[in-house]
Amino acid sequence: MPKIGAHMSIAGGVSRALDRGSELGLETIQIFTKNANQWKGKRISEEERRRFVQRRDETGIDPIVAHDSYLINLASPDARMLERSLIAFEDEMDRCCQLGIQYLVMHPGGHLGSGEKQGIERVGEALKVALLEKEDTGVNIVLETTAGQGTQLGYRFEQLRDIITIVNLPHRMGVCLDTCHIFAAGYDIRTREGCERILMEFDRVIGLETLVVIHANDSKRELGSRVDRHEHIGEGQIGIEAFSFLLNHPRLSELPFILETPKTSPEAQVPMDVVNVSRLRKLIRRDQNEID
């Protein structure tokens, strides 16, 4: 049975994310290990590390997935930015290692007009360097599918495959499939048939065995818009049927489904994470013919 979770805030310390996840009854969570909009983060103290491990064991929340900083761009053609991004990314790996987090999700980055092929090569080579330099961390890199906004890479399955091929360390690489992102990139998952077709394509190009986590997000924008705007489950352009099929697909049944949906809504009387988690859980093992 898939585990349902959400991205949790680390305000007050990384262990607070586990407290918040436990309060919501989550089975899995995603976190930033520091402020996602800063290059350098406050050092994780030994006391905070111990509390994180303790709360992880007490809550039973597993897996815990980390997401890297939004500032990092390993596809940048600017040598100085690329070096800064690689240093920051390796620091993210160190922080995951310190907390015992196995998976670090990252966006492949943007080529900034230098060309997709060149950008893909830079990302692949940079990730290879990071993995070899941090070989003892036990942290695996998870490439996230993107919407393809601007010069973003990772909006086609083939691009992720090519990065993994360049890295040439398949046992240290995985993929995160974001439902909003692939829909915005042009993969139509609105129906059961559409989901099956897209999963078959993913399996052919990359392999479903590489999937580590699903980001469960509806989309504010239309199919192929190349615009990354998340919406509450069942309230966007994707609709509820896709999530029902994905949650009950036998090849995805052991994966964590992690929400990155908006935290608030003008009409909501309860936190929207509660609403969206409930919507996903109600779909598990539900007959597809029962969907409204």
pLDDT at 292: 39
**Is a pLDDT exceeding 90 seen at residue 80?**
yes
**Domain harbouring 118, CATH code:** 3.20.20.150
Q: What is the mean pLDDT of residues 157-162?
A: 98
**50: Cβ contacts below 8 Å, ≥ 6 apart:** none
Number of domains in the chain: 1
Q: Tokens representing 174? A: 């995985």
Say how far apart CA 193 and CA 9 lie, in whole Å. 36
- DSSP designation for 263: S
pLDDT at 265: 81
Strands (E) in 74-194, as ranges, are 103-106, 140-144, 173-178
As to burial, measured by CB atoms within 10 angstroms (0-12 exposed, 13-18 middle, 19+ buried), residue 254 is: exposed
Identify the domain containing residue 237 by its residue range.
3-34+45-290
pLDDT at 271: 87
CB 174 within 8 A of CB 202: no
Q: What is the mean pLDDT of residues 51-59?
A: 98
Q: What is the mean pLDDT of residues 6-28?
A: 97
Say how far apart CA 34 and CA 142 lie, in whole Å. 18
Considering the domain boundaries, does residue 40 fall inside one? no
Q: What is the mean pLDDT of residues 229-257?
A: 97
Considering the domain boundaries, does residue 12 fall inside one? yes
pLDDT at 287: 46
Considering the domain boundaries, does residue 278 fall inside one? yes
Considering the domain boundaries, does residue 272 fall inside one? yes
pLDDT at 288: 41
Determine the angle formed by the axes of helices 79-99 and 116-133, rounding to 10 degrees.
40
Considering the domain boundaries, does residue 39 fall inside one? no
Q: What is the mean pLDDT of residues 109-120?
A: 98
pLDDT at 266: 78
**190: Cβ contacts below 8 Å, ≥ 6 apart:** 183, 223, 237, 238, 239, 241, 242
| 147-to-141, 184, 257, 262 alpha-carbon distances in Å | 19, 5, 18, 17
pLDDT of 87-107, one tens digit each?
999 999 999 999 999 999 999
Paired residues of 142 in beta bridges:
105, 174
pLDDT at 289: 44
pLDDT at 149: 96
pTM for the predicted model, two decimal places: 0.95
pLDDT at 61: 98
Count of C-beta atoms within a 10 Å radius of residue 50: 11
Considering the domain boundaries, does residue 175 fall inside one? yes
Percent of the chain with pLDDT over 90: 92
Say how far apart CA 191 and CA 243 lie, in whole Å. 9
Task: Please state whether beta strands 140-144 and 211-216 pair in parallel, antiparallel, or not at all (unpaired).
Answer: unpaired
Mean pLDDT of the chain: 95
Considering the domain boundaries, does residue 204 fall inside one? yes
**165: Cβ contacts below 8 Å, ≥ 6 apart:** 124
Say how far apart CA 281 and CA 56 lie, in whole Å. 22
- By residue count, the chain amounts to 292
pLDDT at 291: 40
What is the full DSSP assignment across 43-74? PPPHHHHHHHHHHHHHH----EEEE--TT--T
CB 241 within 8 A of CB 191: yes
pLDDT of 182-232, one tens digit each?
999 999 999 999 999 999 999 999 999 999 999 999 999 999 999 999 999
Contacts 24+ apart (CB under 8 A), 230-234: 230/180, 230/260, 230/261, 230/262, 231/180, 231/261, 231/262, 232/261, 232/262, 232/265, 232/272, 232/275, 232/276, 233/259, 233/261, 233/276, 233/279, 233/280, 234/279
Q: What is the mean pLDDT of residues 108-122?
A: 98
Q: What is the mean pLDDT of residues 272-292?
A: 78
